[in-house]
Structure 1
Amino acid sequence: MTGNEPDTDTDIGSDGGSGNDHGDEEDRNPVLLVRGDREFLVQPGEEMGTDLGVLEVPEDVEPGQTLETHLDEEFQVRRLRGPDLFHHFERTGAPMVPRDVGLVIGETGISRGDCVLDAGTGTGVLAASMARAGAEVVTYERDPEFADVARENMELGGIAEEVDVRTGDLREELEALEPSSFDVLTLDTGDAADVVAHAPDLLVEGGFVAVYSPFIESTREVVEAAREADLANVRTRETIQREMQFDDRGSRPSTAPVGHTGYLTIARNE
């Protein structure tokens, strides 16, 4: 795909579903190979070379197994979990952290059978996590190189069929999308307010909007746009968390810098 042309290989956004048959995919889910603090995300049937030797991953590999390299070094097989995507996807910027992904999914109730429209794909952690929750996702990324990396990440995460990564600006594609065909709209872009204004046309009745922003100014614009669009239950929360520290002296929040925080705005179409 080039320019702003959407991928037309799937039907998401025109009839609310992709019609993909995933019957064989459960047999090909990627797994983690773990040894101490080292982890490798691999596909069944793949050959992996490390400083500990070459390891042949069987096609029928199962979580809980122990695999050995040709140097008799052992790796434990672990099932891929959603938070692992954050650590193993190739990054094109700062991906949404697991706590924020959890808030988005928890606040909107994303689940199997939902169709999600997403913009600001980036690394693709949020899109992939929503797909692993059972949703079909259409996600827009304006940077062609970032979009290519996101597609590779979807392959790596075993959800390429569930996530349609489109290169382009969602604002320029709004008229081409089928009205009322999405259950959830998720946005992680500086111009999110422009898309929020169209949420009532894009979402089914009762559908949710979730917008993440690192800046208060753009968050305020989103809230104003949501109110002007007559969306209901508009609310914003700062997503900061503090890690606890336990040692011989006592217990308290960690004195390490808090680090990056953001603002999550949720609204509902009624």
Structure 2
Amino acid sequence: MILLVRGDREYLRAPGEELQTDLGVLTVPEDVEPGQRLETHLGEEFVVREPRGPDLFEHFERTGAPMMPRDIGLVVGFTGAAAGDRVLDAGTGTGVLAAYLGRIDAEVVTYEQDSAFAEVARENMHLAEVEDTVDVRTGDVRDELDELASEAFDLLTLDTEDAPEVVRHAPDLLVSGGFAVVYSPFVEGSRAAAEAAREAGLTDVTTHETIQREMQFDERGSRPDTRGVGHTGFLTVARWE
């Protein structure tokens, strides 16, 4: 898949597919390359771009509110997630986190209880070209903990209401030095996850509110954007000994 970009317009297409807009019609060449400029039959130009993580975030089919790229960046930054890591994820949803981790060549097993959501996530993994590294499973991860305990994961990521219950099993799931990360939209969930992590013997337990504000620059001066506060949620991070 490639992106056809013109200004603030972006269209996702496969080689050989057709684009029809008010700017005209064009057929994507089978041998299309990033950086090419393609013209519609009306002479309007589009630039070809290879989709990257932020682009996929915009074009994934959504089944709810996905984790934001900035939050995913914090997950990677706090844990050092890298190629070759084995990740156990629960609460797949749209699959944005799983796709990002798959694109850095981590091996991801992710659980989604809703079968329809899981099917959408599989389609998104195909779009992100990570279906070989991300295994989307339908079911409740809590039902599989005994079996998963024999697999040894480098990273445990949870975006579920029952995250504290799963965190209590982190010592059985993680390799020495592995991390558990819980994303929660509410601080109560983060507190419960932090308490569960400490009770389970995990160390370096911290919780962070994720806030990002875009800057505005104009003739009057510079200041943070006043539209919203940029809050998305809370990340609780802990580490097994």
Work out whether the TM-score is over 0.5: yes
Q: Distance in 2 between matches of 1:152 and 1:84?
A: 16
**1:91 matches 2:91:** no
Q: Is the 8 A contact 1:54 1:69 kept in 2?
A: yes
Q: Cα offset for 1:160?
A: 1.5
The match for 1:172 is 143
Equivalent residue in structure 1 for 2:122, among 127, 140, 151: 151
Higher relative contact order (CA 8 A, sep 6+): 1
Matched position secondary structure for 1:257: coil
Q: Distance in 1 between matches of 2:108 and 2:44?
A: 39
**1:78 matches 2:49:** yes
Q: Cα offset for 1:32?
A: 1.5
Equivalent residue in structure 2 for 1:267, among 227, 231, 238: 238
- Bigger shift: residues 64-73 or 109-118: 64-73
- Bigger shift: residues 58-67 or 123-132: 58-67
Provide the TM-score with structure 2 as the length reference.
Answer: 0.94
Q: Do the aligned partners of residues 229 and 199 (structure 1) sit closer, same or farther apart at CA in structure 2, a change above 3 Å counting?
A: same
Matched position secondary structure for 2:176: strand
Matched position secondary structure for 2:62: coil
Equivalent residue in structure 2 for 1:50, among 17, 20, 27: 20
Equivalent residue in structure 2 for 1:187, among 158, 165, 170: 158
**1:114 matches 2:85:** yes
Give the fraction of aligned pairs with identical amino acids, expressed as a percent. 68
The gaps in structure 2 that reach 5 residues or longer are none
**1:207 matches 2:153:** no
The match for 1:26 is none
Q: Is the 8 A contact 1:246 1:252 kept in 2?
A: yes
Higher strand share: 2
Q: Cα offset for 1:173?
A: 1.2
**1:250 matches 2:221:** yes
Q: Distance in 2 between matches of 1:164 and 1:176?
A: 16
Matched to 2:139, the amino acid is G
Q: Distance in 2 between matches of 1:204 and 1:222?
A: 19
Matched to 2:216, the amino acid is Q
Q: Distance in 2 between matches of 1:73 and 1:248?
A: 33
**1:138 matches 2:129:** no
Provide the TM-score with structure 1 as the length reference.
Answer: 0.84
Q: Cα offset for 1:232?
A: 1.3
Q: Cα offset for 1:165?
A: 0.7
Q: Do the aligned partners of residues 163 and 268 (structure 1) sit closer, same or farther apart at CA in structure 2, a change above 3 Å counting?
A: same
The match for 1:7 is none
Matched to 1:38, the amino acid is R
**1:34 matches 2:5:** yes
Give the aligned CA root-mean-square deviation in angstroms.
Answer: 1.5
Matched position secondary structure for 2:53: coil
Residue by residue, what CA displacement relative to the aligned partner does 1:21-63 show, whole Å, maximum 9, x if unpaired? xxxxxxxxx32211111112233x2403322444332333221
Q: Distance in 1 between matches of 2:215 and 2:235?
A: 23
Q: Distance in 1 between matches of 2:99 and 2:164?
A: 23
Q: Is the 8 A contact 1:179 1:203 kept in 2?
A: no
Q: Do the aligned partners of residues 133 and 81 (structure 1) sit closer, same or farther apart at CA in structure 2, a change above 3 Å counting?
A: same
Matched to 1:58, the amino acid is P
The match for 1:10 is none
